[in-house]
């Protein structure tokens, strides 16, 4: 099992994904704080922030993580890789905020270490499925 974990997560692809993910997390958190400051409900703010930060994630990951050409087909299917992470993040944010009183602005941050590996696995699957024939040389 340890070898499987090392194979999936201790490599250049995951490191690149992590760096891009760190950047996108900052973008998402800033958007999340902004939506909350504008009066959005915490769950909605979380979903909107994730959805908007997905655009730079797509561009950067296709170029630097997966080395694939961007296309409308991969752009449209790319959000599918985020669905499990969004669900996990939304549930964590709601449980922490409503169940344990964690401030809205910080509940999102706590979900980050959980949804990043989930997003990587899902994104690798989706990109592999829909972008194989457009490999950048």
Residue 55 burial (CB < 10 Å; 0-12/13-18/19+)?
middle
CA pair distance 93, 107, nearest whole angstrom: 5
The pLDDT value given to residue 110: 84
CB 54 within 8 A of CB 74: no
- Domain count within the chain: 1
Residue reference for tokens 């909350």: 36
CB 119 within 8 A of CB 21: yes
CA pair distance 16, 3, nearest whole angstrom: 20
CA pair distance 98, 10, nearest whole angstrom: 35
Q: What is the pTM of this model?
A: 0.69
CB count in 10 Å sphere of residue 61: 26
* Residues in the chain where the model's pLDDT stays below 50: 137
The pLDDT value given to residue 21: 84
Domain containing 76 equals 2-134
Token duo for residue 97: 């905020």
């Amino acid at each position: 099992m340890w070898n499987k974990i090392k194979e999936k997560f201790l490599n250049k692809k995951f490191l690149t994904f992590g760096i891009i993910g760190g950047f996108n997390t900052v973008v998402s958190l800033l958007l999340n704080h902004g939506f909350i400051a504008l009066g959005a409900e915490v769950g909605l703010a979380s979903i909107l922030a994730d959805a908007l930060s997905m655009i730079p994630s797509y561009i950067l990951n296709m170029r630097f993580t997966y080395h694939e050409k961007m296309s409308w087909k991969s752009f449209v299917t790319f959000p599918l890789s985020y669905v499990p992470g969004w669900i996990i993040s939304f549930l964590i944010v709601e449980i922490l905020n409503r169940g344990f009183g964690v401030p809205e602005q910080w509940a999102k941050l706590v979900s980050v270490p959980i949804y990043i590996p989930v997003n990587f696995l899902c994104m690798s699957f989706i990109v592999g499925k829909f972008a194989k024939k457009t490999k950048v040389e």
